[in-house]
């Protein structure tokens, strides 16, 4: 197969959702359809359950498993599909954001009874930043759901994206009759005896006036469906694939993942419309996937929790060319040439050494602590891919050394954990103390535990009251200097020496933005 053929058959995406909407269940059903797994439950074990905050060992166990399911690749109808797993727990939201930098499209799962939830909104913001094409799957139709038109309005308004239903539900909850697949002009009937086992039976109904419709779902629901579909045609623009690919319009499917319902339709449509690997943006230029030379970036680093084998796996997303085993590549940040004798690929539950990988693929590279999130590998060009930002953290604590004899170990541990993207480190201008900023409270526990078990270092946390950290920049040097002088006690630098303003309260932040008009405040580290 040529490089071009390999590229055009690849579909790399993530399933994202607010916790509990059904992301794990849907992922699992997609894998079952793809023949990648044969029993349910394989993905489920990866999940960090709600309320796991107190059960730290459980998280450790889960982390071990999650390497295997980080990337789930499988073949389906001639396509090579790569599903990138994202952590369900909200405290690991930043891992999810970074994974989104490595996908070409996403499927967003929404609970039909709850509608759009907070995490769905945040994830969509990240998709919007990158114009990632989005398909929406409204789940749990077997439960009493909100009115479908209300749900569609809610998605449109809350996620700020145009929607186009490609299927439409016939009732929900105990009276759920089925889903009409607008895309394929087929009726999928929901029959409870098929629960959990197979896909629902489908009937092809191209003419909605056909008496067949009422035969299957009854007169009342048939009339309702006709009205609903008429309204759909009247209200929504026809499906426009280009608008979908530009991230402006989201096709919407309805179903019930746990019942395997509406999943096949979703997958069939997905492989037809979802994009193959797309152009990647580097600082100096854009990179096309079919360029002959290999390039890729690290979007995730997974540490081995075993203190005797403190090695890590760096996940490399291939952006262009063909990646080959045992070939020298430039690690751009260090300027070193490195070669990998056992790069791994992930096929559902199995991990195997590969000889070649193509754009869209994710390769696991063995790392002894030298790689960081965002690192680029090339055949010699000094590329730096953009769009892998750090997000402004929301929780902060001073980190102190609790064992003076282990100073070096602590410094090394902090440094490597920051490279892995576990949290962000700031150094206060006021007193030179180190501040750790995270997205969720759980990370503090993770850091303390890992420093102790992997690096033999001990840390202590001390409270600090900060509302938000933001990076600042200005072309007005005088105003910037004035700001830094006046806000001296609230200033810090990040790991790369960039200025960061630590706002005490949202009011202080708003006031600073108001009073210093020439200063730009950034809530992601990439600008």
The footprint of ligand G4P (CB under 6 A) covers 17, 19-25, 47, 88, 139-140, 142-143, 256-259
Quick one: tokens of 337? 């040439």
**To the nearest whole angstrom, how small is the minimum distance from the Cβ of residue 116 to ligand G4P?**
14
Nearer to ligand G4P, 140 or 450 (CB): 140
Q: Maximum distance among all alpha carbons in the chain?
A: 83
Q: Can you tell me the distance from the alpha carbon of 521 to that of 474, in angstroms, rounded to the nearest whole number?
A: 9
**To the nearest whole angstrom, how small is the minimum distance from the Cβ of residue 361 to ligand G4P?**
24
**To the nearest whole angstrom, how small is the minimum distance from the Cβ of residue 408 to ligand G4P?**
40
The closest alpha carbon to 112, from 87, 86, 85, 149, belongs to 149
Contact 157, 195 (CB under 8 A): no
Nearer to ligand G4P, 259 or 428 (CB): 259
Nearer to ligand G4P, 100 or 330 (CB): 100
Nearer to ligand G4P, 85 or 367 (CB): 85
**To the nearest whole angstrom, how small is the minimum distance from the Cβ of residue 263 to ligand G4P?**
10
Q: Phi first, then psi: give them for residue 437, nearest 5 degrees.
A: -115, 135
263, HSE (Cβ side, Cα atoms, 13 Å): 25
Nearer to ligand G4P, 84 or 512 (CB): 84
**To the nearest whole angstrom, how small is the minimum distance from the Cβ of residue 48 to ligand G4P?**
9
Q: Can you tell me the distance from the alpha carbon of 356 to that of 408, in angstroms, rounded to the nearest whole number?
A: 39
Nearer to ligand G4P, 19 or 369 (CB): 19
**To the nearest whole angstrom, how small is the minimum distance from the Cβ of residue 52 to ligand G4P?**
12
Nearer to ligand G4P, 68 or 319 (CB): 68
The closest alpha carbon to 373, from 317, 293, 304, belongs to 317
Nearer to ligand G4P, 28 or 454 (CB): 28
**To the nearest whole angstrom, how small is the minimum distance from the Cβ of residue 137 to ligand G4P?**
10
Q: Can you tell me the distance from the alpha carbon of 108 to that of 204, in angstroms, rounded to the nearest whole number?
A: 27
Q: How far is CA 15 from CA 123, 136, 232, 424, in A?
A: 11, 10, 26, 26
Instruction: Provide the strand spans (E) within 332-458.
Output: 336-339, 344-347, 350-353, 356-357, 362-367, 376-378, 395-401, 424-428, 434-438
Contact 200, 191 (CB under 8 A): yes
Nearer to ligand G4P, 108 or 161 (CB): 108
**To the nearest whole angstrom, how small is the minimum distance from the Cβ of residue 268 to ligand G4P?**
19
Count of CB atoms situated within 10 Å of the CB of 149? 14
**To the nearest whole angstrom, how small is the minimum distance from the Cβ of residue 20 to ligand G4P?**
4
End-to-end CA distance of the chain: 39
Q: Is the dihedral of CA 259, 265, 267, 270 positive or negative?
A: negative
Contact 494, 471 (CB under 8 A): yes
């Amino acid at each position: 197969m040529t490089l071009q053929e390999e590229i055009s058959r690849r579909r790399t995406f993530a399933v994202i959702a607010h916790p509990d909407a059904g992301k794990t269940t849907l992922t699992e059903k997609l894998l079952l359809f793809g023949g990648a797994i044969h029993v349910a439950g394989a993905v489920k074990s990866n999940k960090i359950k709600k309320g796991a905050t107190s059960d730290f060992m459980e998280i450790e166990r889960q982390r071990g498993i999650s390497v295997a399911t980080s990337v789930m690749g499988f073949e389906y109808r001639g396509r090579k599909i790569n599903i990138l797993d994202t952590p369900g727990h909200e405290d690991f939201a930043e891992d999810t954001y970074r994974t989104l930098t490595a996908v070409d499209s996403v499927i967003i799962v929404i609970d039909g009874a709850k509608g759009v939830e907070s995490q769905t909104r945040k994830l969509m913001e990240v998709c919007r930043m990158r114009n990632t094409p989005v398909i929406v799957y409204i789940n749990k139709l077997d439960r009493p759901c909100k009115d479908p038109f209300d749900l569609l309005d809610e998605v449109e308004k809350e996620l700020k994206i145009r929607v186009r239903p490609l299927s439409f539900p016939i009732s929900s909850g105990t009276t759920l009759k089925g889903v009409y697949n607008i895309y394929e002009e087929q009726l999928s009937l929901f029959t409870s005896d098929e629960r959990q086992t197979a896909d629902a039976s489908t009937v092809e109904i191209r003419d909605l006036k056909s008496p067949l419709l009422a035969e299957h779902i009854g007169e009342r629901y048939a009339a309702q469906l006709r009205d609903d579909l008429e309204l759909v045609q009247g209200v929504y623009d026809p499906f426009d694939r280009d608008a979908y690919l530009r991230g402006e319009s989201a096709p919407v499917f309805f179903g019930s993942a746990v019942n395997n319902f509406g999943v096949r339709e979703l997958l069939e449509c997905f492989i037809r419309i979802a994009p193959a690997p797309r152009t990647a943006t580097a600082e100096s230029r854009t990179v096309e996937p079919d360029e002959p030379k290999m390039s890729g970036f690290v979007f995730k680093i997974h540490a081995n929790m075993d203190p005797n084998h403190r090695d890590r796996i760096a996940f490399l997303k291939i952006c262009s060319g063909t990646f080959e085993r045992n070939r020298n590549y430039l690690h751009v940040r260090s300027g070193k040439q490195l070669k990998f004798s056992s790069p791994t690929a992930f096929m559902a539950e199995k991990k195997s050494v590969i000889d070649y990988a193509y754009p869209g693929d994710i390769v696991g590279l063995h790392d002894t602590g030298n790689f960081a999130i965002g690192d680029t590998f090339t055949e010699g060009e000094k590329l730096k891919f953009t769009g892998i930002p750090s997000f402004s953290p929301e929780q902060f604590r001073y980190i102190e050394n609790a064992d003076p004899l282990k100073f070096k170990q602590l410094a090394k541990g902090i440094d490597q954990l920051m490279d892995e993207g576990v949290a962000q480190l700031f150094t206060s201008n006021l007193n030179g103390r180190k501040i750790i900023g995270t997205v969720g409270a759980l990370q503090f526990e993770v850091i303390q535990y890992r420093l102790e078990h992997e690096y033999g270092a001990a840390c202590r946390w001390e409270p600090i009251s900060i509302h938000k950290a933001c990076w600042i920049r200005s072309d007005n040097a005088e105003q910037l200097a004035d700001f830094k002088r006046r806000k001296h006690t609230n200033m810090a630098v990040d790991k790369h020496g960039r200025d960061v303003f630590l706002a005490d309260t949202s009011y202080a932040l708003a006031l600073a933005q108001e009073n210093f008009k020439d200063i730009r405040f950034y809530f992601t580290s990439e600008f």
